[in-house]
Amino acid sequence: MSDNRGLVLAVAGAAALTATAALVRVSSGGHGGARSARFEPVAPVVTRSGAVQPLMKGPIRVTLTPANASDEVVVHCGSFRQALTPKDGVVVFTGLPQVTCEIALHSNAPPYSPVYPGDELECMWLEHRTLCVGGVATKMPAHVGVDSAAGGVLSVDGGRVGALPLSDLRFAPGSHEIVVELEPGVTLPWTLLVSPNETVQLAFPAPAGYIARPSAQELSDG
């Protein structure tokens, strides 16, 4: 990810940060000579503020791009399901429960979420999945900063973001899998749940007993 201020996309409902400790995962082999030692679980120090709870009231309006992108649009809101045929590329879902929803342009394809009652979306079919813009998830992303006392490289939802520290990462509301890799085979995993407009700072301590290996540059300089 070249721009660490871009929106980090994921699928989940809005909530608060989990309180369980991250387990330091250590593999015994692999690329780069991973360590076989194990370290105690660690949990990041978390500060957060500014979360906004959407009203979740009103219809969901979906405009298709292009207008013939799909002959059916499906919304799921918990146990509620409704499928409508677009008229001139537009569908409007009404009578929705006050919960987070997901939208799919094809019933058997991965949906887009989170969607909130009251959202007005522009949706398209791209690379075999539904993509939408214009709702709370894109207008009010969470802002996340991540740091680690032992350094490391951050990945979010399986995609590499960059070397720590990082600030003002934009996350879609919902659940995200955070992994800080201290070195090959030594990782700090954490599940992060964020709400719209929330500001969250994660500060991972170094695992007890962990001593960082010297870098190639440090070895050459020594």
For the segment 106-135, what is each residue's pLDDT rounded down to a tens digit? 888 889 999 999 999 999 999 889 999 999
The total number of structural domains in the chain stands at 2
- The whole domain housing 29 covers 7-52+140-208
How many other CB atoms are there within 10 angstroms of residue 155's CB atom?
18
Tokens of residue 47, six digits = 């500060």
Q: Is residue 71 located within the same domain as residue 90?
A: yes
Whether residues 201 and 172 fall in one domain = yes
pLDDT tens sequence across 183-214: 888 899 999 999 999 999 999 999 988 887 66
Does residue 17 sit in the same domain as residue 127? no
Question: 104 and 80, same structural domain?
Answer: yes
In a domain, 160, yes or no: yes
- Residue 35 phi, psi dihedral angles, 5° rounding: -75, 160
